[in-house]
Structure 1
């Protein structure tokens, strides 16, 4: 008794689908990490600017 060819096709489809899901998940995590890092850099720059402005105000006043 042999296995029909469509069963092989379904198994291959499932394997390819799983690999693509893993690949997409990794890419999304990397993109999310890059976005978080950029937002953190922007936030830190804003804090530095605000600290500088406060120091200027303290020196003048």
Structure 2
């Protein structure tokens, strides 16, 4: 007994804190992966917009010539 409590209660409390820490780490890692995915998709979208803008500019030049 430690401080009038069985040792296994301290073990349970320790495991609860460990579980919370692991959940926090997993949540942070998931958020980082999600942010990377959003940035990648945003870059793809911006590239498509730029390609479309260039295609329209080329089409416009071809019509006016």
- Shorter-chain TM-score category? over 0.9
Please report the TM-score for the alignment, with normalisation by the length of structure 2: 0.89
Aligned partner of 2:35 in structure 1 is 33
Aligned partner of 2:23 in structure 1 is 21
RCO higher in structure (CA 8 A, sep ≥6): 2
4+ long deviations beyond 3 Å: none
Unaligned runs of 5+ in 1: none
Q: Distance in 1 between matches of 2:4 and 2:50?
A: 71
Unaligned runs of 5+ in 2: none
Which structure has the bigger radius of gyration? 2
Please report the TM-score for the alignment, with normalisation by the length of structure 1: 0.94
Question: Could you say what the CA RMSD is over the residues aligned between the two structures, in angstroms?
Answer: 1.1
Aligned partner of residue 30 in structure 1, secondary structure: helix
Superposed counterparts of 1:1-61, under 5 Å: 2-61=4-63
